[in-house]
Amino acid sequence: MQGGVLRFLCGALLLTQEPALAAGIDRQKWVLRRESGTNYACKCYPGDTCWPDSGQWQKLNATVGGNLQVDIPPGAPCYNTFKGPLGDVQTYNADECATVTANWTSEQFQVEQPAAALWTYFTNDTCRPTTNPTDNCTLGYYPVLVIMAKTVAHIQAGINFARENNLRLIIRNTGHDFLGRSVGWGALVINTHSFQDIKFTDTWQGASGYNGSAVTVGAGVQAFQVLKQANALKPPKIMVTGECATVGVAGGLVQGGGHGPLTNLYGFLADTALEFKVITADGKLTTANAKTKADLFWALRGGGPAAFAVIVEATYKTFDDQPSAGVSFDIDASVTTNATLFWEAVRVFHGHSARMVDDHGLYVYWELGTAGQNLHVHPIVGVGMTADQLAAALQPLYDDLAALGVRPAVTTRAFPTFYDLYEAMFESEVAGNSALTGGWTVARADVAANSTGIVDAFRTVLGAGSFIIGHMWSAGYGLPRAEWNASAVNPRFRDAVSKVITVVPVAGNAPLAEKAAAQDKLTNVVDAALRAAAPNGCAYVNEADPYQPNWQNAFWGTNYPALLKIRQKYDPDGLFYAVSTPGTENWTQIETDTRLCRKL
Ligand SMILES: Cc1cc2nc3c(=O)[nH]c(=O)nc-3n(C[C@H](O)[C@H](O)[C@H](O)COP(=O)(O)OP(=O)(O)OC[C@H]3O[C@@H](n4cnc5c(N)ncnc54)[C@H](O)[C@@H]3O)c2cc1C
Ligand SMILES: *[C@@H]1O[C@H](CO)[C@@H](O)[C@H](O)[C@H]1NC(C)=O
Ligand SMILES: *[C@@H]1O[C@H](CO)[C@@H](O)[C@H](O)[C@H]1NC(C)=O
Ligand SMILES: *[C@@H]1O[C@H](CO)[C@@H](O)[C@H](O)[C@H]1NC(C)=O
Ligand SMILES: *[C@@H]1O[C@H](CO)[C@@H](O)[C@H](O)[C@H]1NC(C)=O
Ligand SMILES: *[C@@H]1O[C@H](CO)[C@@H](O)[C@H](O)[C@H]1NC(C)=O
Ligand SMILES: *[C@@H]1O[C@H](CO)[C@@H](O)[C@H](O)[C@H]1NC(C)=O
Ligand SMILES: *[C@@H]1O[C@H](CO)[C@@H](O)[C@H](O)[C@H]1NC(C)=O
Ligand SMILES: *[C@@H]1O[C@H](CO)[C@@H](O)[C@H](O)[C@H]1NC(C)=O
Ligand SMILES: *[C@@H]1O[C@H](CO)[C@@H](O)[C@H](O)[C@H]1NC(C)=O
């Protein structure tokens, strides 16, 4: 982001002299540009001679059953005019404006829009609901056209069209992405939300040797849908999902890894994958599992979203649900207003992470600094535990806090199943925020060596105006060691006991210098402090700063070279793109984060 801004200030120029073209660059299909002394071959955008003409678009629309739409931002009904790249559209509608205004922060409302991003920073915060209809609604960094795919053939048609015409292609599932990877300026979108099939089996008959229970879900299925149906089975089943009920289970989550309250027991969602049905960059529908296209199967398990293929269906292990217990408490002004004491309490709490995770397999969701000087622990989850067992597991933490004089009011609850706990104790989340997101994991060795240094880093994060959303889990606790390398997630995750997301609030329509300063703060102050305090940690590609130094190693460690080869095998020409995924080193968005281009 910062790099893009600097390049913009240096000026963007059309090429006056054609550079020597790299092999494989067809002049009819690429737009040649030059910025800050570097030559680029760019994808095709509206206005470029290589942008398809209306006849080609109509043909595509017929192939996808009339499901091709002009992308109009969700706030457009509040404006008289949407000034899009394909022409003006009159959009004002008082009722629809009232609906979008009322639902702007509803995750599910935004999920159901064709191409909305829940975190608005990456749209340029464009076209927010307004009471001023004479303002113009503009496209910002949103894509231009959307295929609301209903069949595999529609996805194939979209992939083929984007490849043949060298368009930027975005796969959009729920739009939750923290890094803006489900939007992209000037792109064609394939929306997978209609792929809603859910099928359970008690005895999976697949290639892996596993013959237990499993579920096959379509690309658009969200966590709350599959968990609800699994709970209605007899006996009730569960599967690994994120803590957030509205995130998809077959899109970005599994391709990034996918951690959640069951990660201590079964690893990442990616670790529980049995098979994917995918469409590769050549437009072919194929199956990837432990026997067929095993390299692709491995890469799709945590190797990075939108990098290897489009998932149309995923099969995961399911597990018997168990009675579970949960705890919540706050350390805030209700407990102490003494800053020294507060940070001592945070140190004690975080110092217990390795013990809670390694000795008891507990999952902890916590927030630090979301409401000033506050630590909100909500919930700590003990799957398979009674309330008494969980209370006993946490007694050493309570004792150490009490020794400081900190006695938070603790709520302890027991439930017949984990699902009941999940429904009752996880708090709902909102859409519509504008922020940059970073994050880092902390290894058990770091907790042992540097408990105080880690909390000093947290203080640096909060001091910079950022806040923390934390999780504690161990991805190596319950999953047998022999299965660790079956997925592509960074092997260092198996040593993690704590993982934080850092959030740097910044308006998506802030002046460019302010955006650049926010990105600089995230990379060089906020996350830099965490990296220094926990040198054995790593970063989770779905919840981290894509512009951090050495992202290849931070996201995938020793797995990176293999992932790069698989990317080059399955998508040699860069049909897919998501920032800082394997093989994207030579790709960048020039001209202030707009045109996606390959360095020449
Ligand atoms: C409130 C909130 C809570 C979260 N909680 C957790 C959590 O507990 N655990 C966790 O691990 N993560 C969590 N996340 C992060 C989450 O993993 C990412 O946001 C993830 O990218 C969402 O994937 P999606 O498919 O639902 O969303 P999208 O934004 O639609 O897609 C994300 C990325 O995946 C690609 N993609 C989507 N579908 C496909 C497909 N079918 N084939 C190929 N590529 C595809 C997109 O192109 C994009 O690059 C959370 C995020 C939010 C906003
Ligand atoms: C695609 O076709 C449908 C049905 O005919 C039509 O409503 C829609 O406007 C078309 N899309 C585009 C982008 O022209
Ligand atoms: C949208 O808002 C209306 C009115 O507040 C509400 O009834 C409806 O459930 C909301 N829809 C969604 C998807 O959030
Ligand atoms: C909207 O765009 C038109 C040009 O099409 C321009 O004349 C007008 O000033 C714009 N309105 C605002 C409020 O910027
Ligand atoms: C994004 O917003 C900035 C103002 O914050 C504006 O200068 C720029 O033109 C916008 N970019 C796009 C693509 O809309
Ligand atoms: C499933 O696998 C187990 C262990 O490999 C084996 O004992 C069992 O017979 C298998 N069950 C079925 C139904 O194939
Ligand atoms: C704040 O807490 C610290 C650490 O317990 C203690 O030394 C100090 O006296 C307290 N300050 C006040 C004003 O109570
Ligand atoms: C402990 O953390 C501090 C930052 O808070 C860092 O400077 C130091 O190097 C860390 N020490 C170790 C042993 O990791
Ligand atoms: C897993 O992969 C890592 C990194 O490539 C390697 O160090 C380790 O030995 C592997 N472990 C197993 C069990 O194969
Ligand atoms: C990037 O481009 C350089 C120069 O052409 C090339 O050597 C390198 O392999 C490319 N990297 C990737 C990851 O494609």
Structure confidence by residue, pLDDT tens digits, 482-497:
999 999 999 999 999 9
Pairing relationship of beta strands 81-84 and 136-138 according to DSSP bridges: parallel
**Could you say which ligand is closest to the alpha carbon of residue 124?**
5
Q: Which residues of 394-414 are buried (b: 16+ CB within 10 A; e: fewer)?
A: beebbebbeeeebebebebbb
Specify the residue with its C-alpha closest to ligand 4, atom 12: 135
- 32 and 159 co-located in one domain: yes
pLDDT band of 21, cuts 50, 70, 90:
low
Which atom of ligand 5 is the closest one to the Cα of 512? 5
Alpha-carbon distance 469 to 153, whole Å? 40
Domain boundary among 271, 290, 320: 320
81-99 pLDDT, tens per residue?
999 999 999 999 999 999 9
- 329 and 297 co-located in one domain: no
- 127 and 251 co-located in one domain: no
Say what the pLDDT of residue 475 is: 95
542 domain residue, yes or no: yes
Instruction: Please state the domain count of the chain.
Output: 3
578 domain residue, yes or no: no
Q: How many Å lie between the centroid of ligand 1 and the Cα of residue 177? A: 5
> Residue 303 sits in a domain of what CATH number?
3.30.465.10
As beta bridge partners, residue 191 has: 148, 172
- 129 and 212 co-located in one domain: no
pLDDT band of 534, cuts 50, 70, 90:
very high
Say what the pLDDT of residue 8 is: 28
Say what the pLDDT of residue 18 is: 52
577 domain residue, yes or no: no
- 315 and 452 co-located in one domain: no
- 165 and 206 co-located in one domain: no
Which atom of ligand 8 is the closest one to the Cα of 534? 14
pLDDT band of 10, cuts 50, 70, 90:
very low
Q: How many Å lie between the centroid of ligand 5 and the Cα of residue 168? A: 19
Q: Taking residues 183-200, what's their average pLDDT?
A: 98
238-263 pLDDT, tens per residue?
999 999 999 999 999 999 999 999 99
- With 90 as the cut, is the pLDDT of residue 504 above it? yes
- With 90 as the cut, is the pLDDT of residue 6 above it? no
Say what the pLDDT of residue 401 is: 98
511-522 pLDDT, tens per residue?
999 999 999 999
Q: Taking residues 538-550, what's their average pLDDT?
A: 98
**Could you say which ligand is closest to the alpha carbon of residue 66?**
2
Does 135 sit in the ligand 4 pocket, CB within 6 Å? Answer: yes
Specify the residue with its C-alpha closest to ligand 4, atom 1: 136
Does 196 sit in the ligand 7 pocket, CB within 6 Å? Answer: no
Say what the pLDDT of residue 5 is: 27
Does 586 sit in the ligand 10 pocket, CB within 6 Å? Answer: yes
CA distances from 210 to 3, 163, 230, 249, 289 (A): 47, 37, 19, 20, 12
Enter the tokens of residue 360. Answer: 């008891």
- With 80 as the cut, is the pLDDT of residue 24 above it? no
Which atom of ligand 10 is the closest one to the Cα of 585? 13
- 292 and 313 co-located in one domain: yes
Q: How many Å lie between the centroid of ligand 2 and the Cα of residue 187? A: 17
- 69 and 97 co-located in one domain: yes
Say what the pLDDT of residue 161 is: 98
Specify the residue with its C-alpha closest to ligand 2, atom 6: 66
**Could you say which ligand is closest to the alpha carbon of residue 451?**
8
- With 80 as the cut, is the pLDDT of residue 395 above it? yes
507 domain residue, yes or no: yes
Does 99 sit in the ligand 3 pocket, CB within 6 Å? Answer: yes
- 351 and 461 co-located in one domain: yes
Q: Which residues of 364-388 are buried (b: 16+ CB within 10 A; e: fewer)?
A: bbbbbbeeebbbbbbbbbbbebebe
> Residue 397 sits in a domain of what CATH number?
3.40.462.20
Does 46 sit in the ligand 8 pocket, CB within 6 Å? Answer: no
- With 70 as the cut, is the pLDDT of residue 16 above it? no
- With 80 as the cut, is the pLDDT of residue 346 above it? yes
Say what the pLDDT of residue 23 is: 58
Instruction: Tell me the pTM.
Output: 0.95
Specify the residue with its C-alpha closest to ligand 5, atom 11: 140
- With 60 as the cut, is the pLDDT of residue 560 above it? yes
Specify the residue with its C-alpha closest to ligand 3, atom 5: 102
Does 109 sit in the ligand 3 pocket, CB within 6 Å? Answer: yes
Q: Could you tell me which of 232, 202, 214, 191 has the C-alpha nearest to residue 276?
A: 214
pLDDT band of 20, cuts 50, 70, 90:
low
Specify the residue with its C-alpha closest to ligand 9, atom 14: 485
558 domain residue, yes or no: no
Specify the residue with its C-alpha closest to ligand 1, atom 28: 175
- 10 and 140 co-located in one domain: yes
- 593 and 449 co-located in one domain: no
Q: Taking residues 118-131, what's their average pLDDT?
A: 96
How many C-beta atoms surround the C-beta of residue 333 within 10 A?
Answer: 12
Q: Taking residues 6-25, what's their average pLDDT?
A: 44
Q: Taking residues 405-419, what's their average pLDDT?
A: 98
- With 70 as the cut, is the pLDDT of residue 407 above it? yes
SS3 568: helix
pLDDT band of 1, cuts 50, 70, 90:
very low
Domain boundary among 320, 352, 378: 320
Alpha-carbon distance 191 to 194, whole Å? 8
Say what the pLDDT of residue 289 is: 98
pLDDT band of 12, cuts 50, 70, 90:
very low
Q: Give residues with Cβ within 8 angstroms of 219, minimum separation 6.
A: 173, 192, 195, 248, 250, 251, 310, 311, 312, 313, 314
226 domain residue, yes or no: yes
Domain that holds residue 216: 198-320
Domain boundary among 320, 344, 362: 320
- With 60 as the cut, is the pLDDT of residue 421 above it? yes
Specify the residue with its C-alpha closest to ligand 6, atom 10: 211
160-186 pLDDT, tens per residue?
999 999 999 999 999 999 999 999 999
- With 60 as the cut, is the pLDDT of residue 69 above it? yes
Which atom of ligand 7 is the closest one to the Cα of 405? 5
**Could you say which ligand is closest to the alpha carbon of residue 5?**
5
Alpha-carbon distance 171 to 154, whole Å? 13
- With 70 as the cut, is the pLDDT of residue 40 above it? yes
- 381 and 504 co-located in one domain: yes
Q: Crossing angle, helix 339-351 and helix 387-404, to 10 degrees?
A: 140
Residues within 6 Å of ligand 9 by CB:
481, 484-485, 491, 558
**DSSP assignments along 255-288, one per residue:** HH----TTHHHH--GGGGEEEEEEE-TTS-EEEE
